[in-house]
């Protein structure tokens, strides 16, 4: 057999063999599939506290990660949630239409979204705006007494049909659904006052009053108020040139002349009731009005507006390059905000500046022409948010929300330290550091509240001045608070919240005694954090949120399932440390926002936009989005941040680090088996 023929026969046989065996197979992971969402698409009258829910199925039962995007503009959706839970409760406002979608990721490169969904929240009625009186012109004189046409403007934000009541000289004149009413035969030579009430079916809104004076008999009467013909008030995309037209007459039949004003600048005087405007800019809104004179008296007409048609406008560039940099820390009580933006058409730009203490800051300046703004009287140790909206007169573009922190005073602090042989006052403001043992009381944890030290261990010890009182309560962790809502400034009753091996104790306390008010059974609790009327408690079941508005009757309102170790709450965020992760949660509903792996963590602390975590023989500093910034090797029992310094309780004392986690060796303190440090404010 020839070699070529033999080769072809062997190849054919090999092909038949693979075909018989089914050939090589490639395993492919199948994508998830969207099933349903709540509320249903295009739902109306959705409650503002509604929780969005969605369902996807996965053929391989892969664990799915979801990204929820939502917004009021379907082309500007923003991510509100990322996590494995298939529900989230966004902050919704009434009378709004929202667009949203969910993206499911199976972790194998397959991402599927729900498609664009929409719903409208329950509507609330808003009152009409205050009516604006047009005719007779306020404070006008020589008004025709034989015929007066009362005219006004009024806008309802919900576009409800309006009914009006007209009052003259404090007496009811008429009811109408029109925006004008004619009255004949007024008294000559009389000063009249009038106003209008608008009613939308629920709310009455009254205009400011206006006065006018009617002409005397045989006295010259002023011209009537000019009436608009074209362009219609508020008209858009009006072609250039624009022909202004109006109608007007005089009660005495006098000849009339007209002064035409554009944007408060006089353009011409004419006897015609029209005027052509040529020198206009495209995509620009103009205001105009007419003053009409009969040679003796003058009447000014209302202000009308129109917007010219123009070339397609491109919006400004998104504001960028913020100063201070996003999520940075500044010093001092003032800052100059700056940003950059440009316009592709070379249009002049104006800026609206939003600034405040929430992630949705309010507008504080409008139509700025500068890209800088000085902000003063900032508070220390606080987070501020800001954003900029750039406008070119036709379009606007909103920049991202930036933030910065105001650093606390950089000086050293005074601390309390709980050690094996007692409670110490450690004054790091002194050089050398001043260490004073103020009590031989020992325990597992301490808390300082209103000049009183509470120590929990085999018993509760209360240190006030030179006195020590005790109560028979055992525990591992303690927090002392008035259990009042955070927005209240109170000096109410004090409660010591104590966790022991199996429960949370709520103790009504003074500087001399404590009695049990209530208790909650827990599963191996580890720590707690009190925030206003709420207590966040960690145990082996999870993070529990309890409502203590009635301290005698604690109510669990939320549970995040995990092996919870420690928690820190700030504003609307919980920073939770579990047996294997660091997790940020929404403090309202404990919904997960993001998480990272972290093994053997024991303590977590938040200050000035940074998260500090102890555990596994290290101290790690993160930003608020849990991006790691620095790590040092140290075995600590607790951590506290004050000013620009970090204090770590270690087995043989307290170690001090600066904000870069570089040790300040001159400030380290030796104590016997330090278990806790607490700031003296």
Do 196 and 93 lie in a common domain? no
How far is 359 from 76, CA to CA, in rounded Å? 17
CATH of residue 344: 2.60.40.10
Residue 232 lies in a domain: yes
Strands 477-481 and 494-499: antiparallel
| Domain span holding position 255 | 132-308
Q: What is the separation, in whole angstroms, between the first and last Cα of the chain?
A: 100
Structural domain ending residue among the three candidates 406, 432, 461: 406
pLDDT at 477 over 90: yes
DSSP state of 430: S
Residue 37 lies in a domain: yes
Do 213 and 79 lie in a common domain? no
Query: Hey, what long-range contacts does 168-177 have (CB within 8 A, 24 or more apart)?
Result: 168/192, 168/193, 168/194, 169/193, 169/194
Residue 656 lies in a domain: no
Q: Who contacts 3 (Cβ-Cβ below 8 Å, separation ≥6)?
A: none
Do 157 and 42 lie in a common domain? no
Distance, CA of 595 to chain centre: 22
Do 206 and 278 lie in a common domain? yes
CB hemisphere CA count around 295 (13 angstroms)? 8
Q: Global pTM?
A: 0.48
pLDDT at 580 over 70: yes
Do 298 and 370 lie in a common domain? no
Element housing 7 (H / E): helix 3-20
Do 284 and 374 lie in a common domain? no
3-state secondary structure of 554: coil
Q: Looking up tokens 């508070």, which residue turns up?
A: 379
pLDDT at 20 over 60: no
3-state secondary structure of 667: helix
Do 140 and 251 lie in a common domain? yes
Torsion angles phi and psi, residue 453, rounded to 5: -105, 130
Residue 426 lies in a domain: no
Residue 178 lies in a domain: yes
Structure tokens at 257: 């002349």
Write down the mean pLDDT value for the chain. 88
Do 176 and 261 lie in a common domain? yes
Do 162 and 202 lie in a common domain? yes
Do 182 and 296 lie in a common domain? yes
Average pLDDT over residues 43-72: 92
Residue 25 lies in a domain: no
Do 137 and 285 lie in a common domain? yes
Structural domain ending residue among the three candidates 62, 96, 121: 121
Chain segment 272-306, per-residue pLDDT in tens: 999 999 888 888 999 999 999 999 888 988 889 99
b/e per residue 283-305 (b: at least 16 CB within 10 A): beebebbbbbbbeebbbbbbebb
Do 279 and 147 lie in a common domain? yes
Residue 508 lies in a domain: no
More confident residue, 8 or 119: 119
Residue 615 lies in a domain: no
Average pLDDT over residues 587-614: 92
Chain segment 345-365, per-residue pLDDT in tens: 888 888 999 999 888 899 888
What pLDDT score was predicted for residue 379? 83
What pLDDT score was predicted for residue 409? 62
More confident residue, 160 or 541: 541
Domain count, the chain: 3
What pLDDT score was predicted for residue 16? 42
Structural domain ending residue among the three candidates 308, 329, 363: 308
What pLDDT score was predicted for residue 444? 94
């Amino acid at each position: 057999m020839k070699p070529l023929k033999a080769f072809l026969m062997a190849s054919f046989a090999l092909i038949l063999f693979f075909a018989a065996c089914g050939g090589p197979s490639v395993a492919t992971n199948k994508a998830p599939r969207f099933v349903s969402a709540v509320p249903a698409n295009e739902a109306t009258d959705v409650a503002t506290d509604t929780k969005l829910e969605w369902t996807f199925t996965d053929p391989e039962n892969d664990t799915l990660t979801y990204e929820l995007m939502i917004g009021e503009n379907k082309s500007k959706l923003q991510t509100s949630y990322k996590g494995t839970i298939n529900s989230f409760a966004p902050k919704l406002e009434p009378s709004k239409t929202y667009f949203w979608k969910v993206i499911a990721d199976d972790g194998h490169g397959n991402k599927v979204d729900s498609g664009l969904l929409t719903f409208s929240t329950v509507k609330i009625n808003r009152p009409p705006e205050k009516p604006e009186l047009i005719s007779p012109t306020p404070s006008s004189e020589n008004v025709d007494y034989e015929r007066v046409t009362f005219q006004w403007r009024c806008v309802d934000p919900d576009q409800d049909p309006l009914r009006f009541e007209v009052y003259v000289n404090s007496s009811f004149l008429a009811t109408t659904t029109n925006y004008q009413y004619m009255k004949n035969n007024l008294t000559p030579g009389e000063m009249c006052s009038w106003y209008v009430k608008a009613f939308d079916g629920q709310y009455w809104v009254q205009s400011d009053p206006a006065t006018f004076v009617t002409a005397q008999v045989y006295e010259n009467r002023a011209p009537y108020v000019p009436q608009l013909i074209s362009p219609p008030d508020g008209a858009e995309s009006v072609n250039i040139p624009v022909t202004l037209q109006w109608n007007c007459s005089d009660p005495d039949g006098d000849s009339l002349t007209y002064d035409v004003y554009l944007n408060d600048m006089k353009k011409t005087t004419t006897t015609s009731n029209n005027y052509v405007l040529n020198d206009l800019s495209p995509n620009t809104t103009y205001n105009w009005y007419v003053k009409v004179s009969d040679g003796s008296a003058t009447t000014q007409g209302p202000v009308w507006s129109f917007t010219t048609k123009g070339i397609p406008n491109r919006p400004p560039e998104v504001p960028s390059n913020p100063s201070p940099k996003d999520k940075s820390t500044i010093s001092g009580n003032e800052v100059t905000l700056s940003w950059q933006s440009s316009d592709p058409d070379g249009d002049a730009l104006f800026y609206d500046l939003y600034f405040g203490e929430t992630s949705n800051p309010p507008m504080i300046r409008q139509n700025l022409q500068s890209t800088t703004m000085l902000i003063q009287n900032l508070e220390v140790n606080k987070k501020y948010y800001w954003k900029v909206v750039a406008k070119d007169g036709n379009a606007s573009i909103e920049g991202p929300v930036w933030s910065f922190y105001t650093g606390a005073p950089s000086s050293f602090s005074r601390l309390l330290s709980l050690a094996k042989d007692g409670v110490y006052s450690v004054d790091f403001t002194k050089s050398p550091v001043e260490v004073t043992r103020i009590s031989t009381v020992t325990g597992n944890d301490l808390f300082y509240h209103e000049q009183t030290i509470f120590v929990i261990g085999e018993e509760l010890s209360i240190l006030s001045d030179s006195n020590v009182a005790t109560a028979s309560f055992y525990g591992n962790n303690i927090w002392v608070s008035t259990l009042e809502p955070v927005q209240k400034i109170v000096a109410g009753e004090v409660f010591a919240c104590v966790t022991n091996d199996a429960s949370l104790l709520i103790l009504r306390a003074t500087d001399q005694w404590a009695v049990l008010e209530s208790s909650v059974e827990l599963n191996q609790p580890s720590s707690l954090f009190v925030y206003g009327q709420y207590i966040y408690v960690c145990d082996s079941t999870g993070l529990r949120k309890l409502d203590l508005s009635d301290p005698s009757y604690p109510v669990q309102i939320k549970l995040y399932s995990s092996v919870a170790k420690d928690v820190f709450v700030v504003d609307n965020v919980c920073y939770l440390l579990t047996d294997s992760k660091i997790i940020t949660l929404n403090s309202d509903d404990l919904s997960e926002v993001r998480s990272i792996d972290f093994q053997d963590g024991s303590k977590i602390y938040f200050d000035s936009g940074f998260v500090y975590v102890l555990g596994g023989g290290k101290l790690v500093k993160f930003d608020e989005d849990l991006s790691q910034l620095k790590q040092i090797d140290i075995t600590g029992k607790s951590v506290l941040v004050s000013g620009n310094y970090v204090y770590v309780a270690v087995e043989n004392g307290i170690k001090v680090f600066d904000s870069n986690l570089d040790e300040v060796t001159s400030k380290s303190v030796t104590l016997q088996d330090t278990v806790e440090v607490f700031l003296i404010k």
